[in-house]
Structure 1
């Protein structure tokens, strides 16, 4: 196993005021430091949407918060899970055993679910910014876990609901054969059929499939008004490229990328992706605050941040505020404070963390701009509608989370 890269963000082990404290006065920080881990895909098909961008977002959060909390240093560790659950679990177990207090990113739903369960067993925290399976806050919810950015239910409500209401009644699914893809099928179908539409077909593909032309041709020949992509990263990009080659976006059918981001759109280019629909919980060009963060991020990454990378900043910042408020890094006390404190930052206005682990925030539907509509390389999307968080996310009562289930 490759050695883990550790970045110490404090110049000294103890700030001067903390050094003067007696042992009885010292805050209850285990191991003398607060340790945060970013566990992400940094080398395969999802690296552009997560990867080093998530690490950069975490570093920016720590720079803004300061190098210490409760007079103790903050340490950041990072590792590449290579989209392999066994690798991720080995790394997470080692980190928790070595005193890492919280792990974030965790793109890939199988990885997120595994690490969330491990965090519960170890008495640590998992703040999941990179996954979207509703199971995380449903049947497998945890008192030591949170799903920070978005999920398949909210994406179904934000994308499918307004499209069906606008008259797009027939749908065909192209689905990655992973937990996330199956969650999309389960969450989008009731929205489509509940609005008077129908699903005319679906086809699955393995994760990280280089050629999706067969699936695209099946979707095109179905005659469905909307082709929905329930995949992510390189798979989603390949699907859009091949859909463009076969003339899908230039014809009568519409394309909706349910787990795509502005980063994917930029990689594709507006000539290829122009006209398609997607949803994000954050867009870099929303207001002065989002643009300020994006410019700092861009200076290091040479790319604008997406929802998941901005979510890492938000999760790390809120976690550190909760440690400060709790006076300890003990997981239960910190999570209690995280639920009490409002989440209010550049990506989230008046958000909150529910007892089932779901962070509630607004989500927006976007349409990719045509080349003639864009004013610059990263001016790639226009906002169509915004769904308030309470309308976007599934209610706790409907989620089947044992933590909130009534007898």
Structure 2
């Protein structure tokens, strides 16, 4: 049976293998080696069944996809989150072991020819917005092709001599998190070249709600390419099927797509990431607050870059210290070489202990605007790209309440939700 005979289908889950627990703890693991565990015989590791109630990732379902990789020349889009878990995630967080998908597939005799690296790079160290350069992986000697910087879409030459491309990246479910934009360009390039794409599906830690303004297509950019709300409530695999089904690729092309779905996943489950998905999302709290606090990236307010509590605090030298008593000074660190307001005292709010939210909160942004002494420079041009519309800035400047603003999103969210249902793989 040929690979292409399964065009635009989603593989059923065949076996339970190694797994990730629904929740791995309240704090994500910090910087760890993505090749921490060496598997001497990967095929033995991948035949274990732990608990039927635990999530089995797409990457762990080797019996489903290895037959289609046999004899193929493979490219893979991967970063530090692209791992096989090699023991039960029911163990304490620090005891969870894993090995990188590239290392594991090479151990399974898959002929990987090159790695494509998205924003933050293959090992996940680059700053947000920092150009990621081509290179060679020192462990495997595989060529690394950057998909961030001038080259966001694989070229025909870069796809030459590949028979299939795997996409395996942990997403966090926000429109402006650029991994879904990289997914779009990979699918588009592969559709043009006639190369199938396999997506190894992973959970969406913000997959239990949908919220925010729907992007208006005149405001498309790399931080928003499709007419979806800020929080879309889909896994990366579901999102790939939507890109294909809605014909969002150039010239309404469709990619030869396969999604290796998860087992035991549903959108209401709490899922804790044991590996931080990017340098400035260090833990569950940051990931939960990210869709709401990322709006500050389009203002003169810091969202905590240059601290160890990124996207869990916000502040600015321009906010009223009588209203905002919390203070911090951004300093260069691994997540930000040149943080906003470096070495300046920022007045703001500490949300590190805030309750988990299941909605997009605007009051933090609205109140910051009301209490800045620099309204003329509060918003910058990036804000419209993040919001996907000029309307949100206008609404805040006019003094509309959070409730009134969110009421204007209702119709767009209803349309999106109706479309979204056509592509859901999980309840």
Q: Fold match, TM over 0.5?
A: no
Which structure dedicates a bigger proportion of its chain to helix? Answer: 1
TM-score by length of 1: 0.27
TM-score by length of 2: 0.26
